[in-house]
Amino acid sequence: MTSIESLTKRIGNTLLVWSIASIIVGFALYFFSFDPLFQGMGFQAMLWGGIDLVVFFTVLKRRQHDLEKIKQELTISIRLEVIYLIIGLLILLFMGQDPYFAGHGYGIIIQGLFLIFLDLYYYRSL
Structural domain total, the chain: 1
* Contact in structure between 109 and 85 (CB atoms under 8 Å): yes
Domain that holds residue 19: 3-125
| Calpha distance 96→94 (Å, rounded) | 6
Residue 1 pLDDT > 60: no
- Quote the pLDDT of residue 9: 84
* Contact in structure between 102 and 96 (CB atoms under 8 Å): yes
pTM: 0.92
DSSP label at residue 126: -
Residue 32 pLDDT > 70: yes
Residue 126 pLDDT > 90: no
| Calpha distance 30→36 (Å, rounded) | 8
